[in-house]
């Protein structure tokens, strides 16, 4: 078995675990986010997906922030989790309109910037799609870190585009993984809406 195939299998398996935790809004997903980029960076660089390679550096940083943001409010002033952890944890919520507009603007600027870089400074033969998925992933991951339910909609688009991109680039296991992501993203969005309803149910207080 080649090292590339072994890493693809490892990344595929860890990706499924990550998705399970994300589906249930479990903060442990950020721990998986530390390992996954290291695996993905090797694969993407070998396949010439330079934007995807670069975004994994961002993933490492946002993983640390996401874990801190999701768990900090569930801890007391002394840094230890208290009895009211469930009540104090960052809630799942809808994205405010002004934040959505700002996110769309950031996406457009980053997409254009990455596309120009890839088309002019690298040998990428898929600069438009690579830049698109990278830019939208940057925004989607930040939405996830802030626990906005709409992050699932952004990931749904990213995942669908990645299926075709990875098939084209000869990464079949990752293509299969992202096909699964695309379907589960739809269920994940509904799951997070249910979690929001439970949060707002007085009977759960």
> pLDDT for 145-204, tens place per residue?
999 999 999 999 999 999 999 999 888 888 987 898 899 899 999 999 999 998 876 665
- Residue 17 in tokens: 């675990």
Q: Please, what is the average pLDDT of the chain?
A: 84
Spatial distance between the Cα atoms of 145 and 42, rounded to a whole number of angstroms: 24
Write the DSSP assignment of 109-152 as a string of letters: HHHHHHHHHHHHHS--S-HHHHHHHHHHHHHHHHHHHTTBTTHH
d(CA 48, CA 107): 22
Length of the chain: 205
pTM of the model as a whole: 0.77
The C-alpha atoms of residue 67 and residue 79 are separated, in whole angstroms, by 14
Summarize pLDDT for 8-35 with one digit per residue, the tens: 777 778 878 888 888 888 888 888 887 7
Burial class (CB in 10 A: 0-12, 13-18, 19+), 151: buried
């Amino acid at each position: 078995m080649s090292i590339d195939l072994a890493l693809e299998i490892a990344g595929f398996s860890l990706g499924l675990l990550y998705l399970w935790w994300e589906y249930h809004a479990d903060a442990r997903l950020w721990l998986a986010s530390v390992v996954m980029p290291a695996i993905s960076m090797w694969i993407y660089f070998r396949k010439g997906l330079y934007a995807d390679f670069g975004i994994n550096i961002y993933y490492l940083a946002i993983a640390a922030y996401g874990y801190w943001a999701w768990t900090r409010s569930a801890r007391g002033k002394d840094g230890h989790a208290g009895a009211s952890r469930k009540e104090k944890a960052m809630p799942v919520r809808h994205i405010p309109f002004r934040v959505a507009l700002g996110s769309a603007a950031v996406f457009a600027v980053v997409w254009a910037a990455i596309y120009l870089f890839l088309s002019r400074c690298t040998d990428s033969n898929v600069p438009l799609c690579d830049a698109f998925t990278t830019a939208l992933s940057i925004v989607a991951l930040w939405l996830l870190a802030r626990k906005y339910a709409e992050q699932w909609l952004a990931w749904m688009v990213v995942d669908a585009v990645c299926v075709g991109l990875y098939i084209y680039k000869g990464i079949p296991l990752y293509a299969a993984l992202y096909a699964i992501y695309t379907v589960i993203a739809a269920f994940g969005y509904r799951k997070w809406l249910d979690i929001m309803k439970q949060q707002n149910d007085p009977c759960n207080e």
